[in-house]
Amino acid sequence: MMRLESERLYLKEFETGEGYLFEALDSNDNVVKYTGKTKMTREQGNKYIEHMQSVMYPEGLGFYACYLKNDDEFIGWFHLRKEMGLETNVLEIGYRLKENYWGQGYATEMSKELLDYGFTKTDLISAITVNENTASQKVMLKLNMSYDKNLDYHGFDVRRYIIHRGEHLYK
């Protein structure tokens, strides 16, 4: 079972029955504004957790629940997964946080830990965001990621950022 920690946060695998966490997070329109996806229900969240438990977690990949260390408050999720539909042997990082936790450095803080962990598995890591999501683009630049290209991702025009092993000299 993977558990990553940073100064203020920790990640843990989602557990059976925790689909309500996805549902609660996705209930805020601002949180899902740039995702291009419909809101996940509790049942969909539970099914996705079952998929991660059987397919992704055994590889050390997947979506991970993120909590504050000081009070164990769930603040969102982060993921490290195989990049979907692009290159092989590339991992992708991503995150979604509750709105009241935006702008506090949490996305950058935990993404650094995911990069460190991800580079034990691959030499290239990517992240994508829609063009309008400038806040996430700033996070990617803070992580020393470089803009790679725009591409179509499930019908959405997104910006792809990449970083190679050895370029993550942010610590």
Percent of the chain topping pLDDT 70: 92
Which band of pLDDT confidence, cut at 50, 70 and 90, is reported for residue 146? very high
Alpha carbons within 13 angstroms on the beta-carbon side of residue 104 total: 13
Question: Domains of the chain, with CATH numbers?
Answer: 9-164 (3.40.630.30)
Averaged pLDDT for residues 93-117 = 95
pLDDT digits (tens, 9 = 90+) for 33-68: 887 667 888 999 999 898 888 887 778 888 899 999
Q: How much is the pLDDT for 101?
A: 97
Split at pLDDT 50, 70, 90, the class of 86 is low
User: Is 60 exceeded by the pLDDT of residue 171?
Assistant: no
Most confident of 53-62, 79-88, 116-125: 116-125
**Dihedral angle of Cα 163, 164, 165, 166, to the nearest 10 degrees:** -90
Average pLDDT, the chain: 89
**Whole-number pLDDT of residue 85:** 66
Write out pLDDT tens, residues 125-142: 999 999 999 999 999 999
